[in-house]
Amino acid sequence: MLSKKLEKALNNQIRIEAESSQVYLSMACWAEVQGLEGVAGFMYEHSDEERMHMLKLVKYVNERGGHATVSELSAPKKDFGTFQKMFQELYDHEIFVSNSINELVHITLEEKDYATHNFLQWYVAEQIEEEALARTVLDKINLIGNDKGGLYLFDRDVQLINVESAASDTGEA
């Protein structure tokens, strides 16, 4: 059985995951309009992934005797200026999500809810991978600079970048 404090914190994380999905969906729309089909595909895929993270939390809360709630979401921004700025925002957002997951883990320890602590370890590992992926993409973007040919190649290849390659590029597993 979930404590009320932990149920509230998990419901907050459900909202964060839902908003993350919306952020990436907005990034996908912006990239598609800019003619960056590869980047758009990458963002659409990540939007779906964030929604799955949300649903996993929803099911967990309900299965543990809590009540998962669907809340109002903040609208994401629509314009990202440049694809470099957009990927920096993606990286910053992943850091924010990691901090939120870490706070949740802290609450599980305070509440002595080791089942939820164990459940959240998947999210901890997932965030390590997400941050590594975002960092790898940012590194590639910084190599490109303002080179249009490099942007073309990056856009073509970005969908091939996956979490496993990002983790191995940074020496993390």
Phi, psi of 81 (to 5 degrees): 75, -75
- Distance CA(102)–CA(65), nearest Å, equals 23
DSSP string, 16-34: HHHHHHHHHHHHHHHHHHT
Residue 94 assigned ligand-binding role? yes
Residue 172 assigned ligand-binding role? no
CB 73 within 8 A of CB 23: no
Residue 164 assigned ligand-binding role? no
Residue 127 assigned ligand-binding role? yes
- Distance CA(122)–CA(108), nearest Å, equals 14
Among candidate residues 72, 97, 92, the one with its CA nearest the CA of residue 27: 92
Residue 53 assigned ligand-binding role? yes
- Distance CA(96)–CA(155), nearest Å, equals 26
Report the binding-site residues: 17, 50, 53, 94, 127
Report the binding-site residues for Fe cation: 17, 50, 53, 94, 127
